[in-house]
Chains A and B, each alone.
Chain A
Amino acid sequence: DAKTTQPTSMDCAEGRAANLPCNHSTISGNEYVYWYRQIHSQGPQYIIHGLKNNETNEMASLIITEDRKSSTLILPHATLRDTAVYYCIAGDVGGSRLTFGEGTQLTVNP
């Protein structure tokens, strides 16, 4: 499983877009990029995942570079409830081990 690198922390103003970067330069061809977030003392919550193409759902958008070495999670209109630790993880669709990096603490400020 590829290692991912994320900034330790980020701040964002409420109502603005939050752009969270992730580097995964050693990602293999069969590994998806998954994003999860964890609010204090809860289990991680699934946000979005993608392989090559950009993806969008009701929570966020995922932009993956053409070489797949990095990606950006976009929360289009951040709210105070989006304050959490965001994890970017590379994992294959076959259900092999999923290991977490340190993640990014996103703080949304009023």
Chain B
Amino acid sequence: GAVVSQHPSRVICKSGTSVKIECRSLDFQATTMFWYRQFPKKSLMLMATSNEGSKATYEQGVEKDKFLINHASLTLSTLTVTSAHPEDSSFYICSAHGTLHYGYTFGSGTRLTVV
């Protein structure tokens, strides 16, 4: 089945630094990737949608300069949290959709803690 690998699974960083999270589709080409954020005991909140080779579409209220998304290839998307602050601490999850299957496959998530 379709597999999406997300790394790192956990990261702790200092305030003011940037953190990059990778999302890879291992056995299919992901024409569209999605990035979500999840707070404790809450549902997943869609942050942005990215299509390979084009700029990401951000949801209302999501700062595009803070959450940089790159989808340079059909198997890799990255989310960079720039100048991280403690309020950026959260669980970030990616998802990928390909042309050869009808489902959306999710990564295992990244727990970001900003200290």
Residues of A within 8 A of B (CB): 32, 34, 36, 38, 41-46, 49, 87, 91, 93, 95-103
Contacts and interface: CB of A to CB of B under 8 A. Distances in A.
Q: Which of A34, A45, A95, A103 has the most CB of B within 10 A?
A: A95
A101 B108 CA distance: 19
Contacts of A38: 44
B6 A43 contact: yes
A44 B93 contact: yes
| A-B CB proximity, top 8 nearest | A95-B97, A43-B106, A95-B32, A100-B44, A44-B106, A43-B108, A100-B43, A43-B109
B103 A34 contact: yes
A43 B43 contact: no
The interface residues of chain A, by DSSP majority, are classed as loop
A33 to B, nearest CB: 12
Interface string B84-115: 00000001010101100011111111010000
A84 to B, nearest CB: 13
B68 interface: no
A102 B43 contact: yes
A87 B34 CA distance: 17
B19 interface: no
B46 interface: yes
Nearest to A47: B103
A100 B43 CA distance: 7
- Which of A36, A44, A97, A99 has the most CB atoms of chain B within a 10 A radius of its CB? A44
A59 to B, nearest CB: 12
Given A46-B105, A95-B104, A98-B46, 19 more contacts: A32-B102, A41-B91, A41-B111, A42-B108, A43-B93, A43-B107, A43-B109, A44-B106, A45-B106, A49-B102, A93-B102, A97-B34, A98-B34, A99-B46, A100-B36, A100-B45, A101-B43, A102-B43, A103-B43
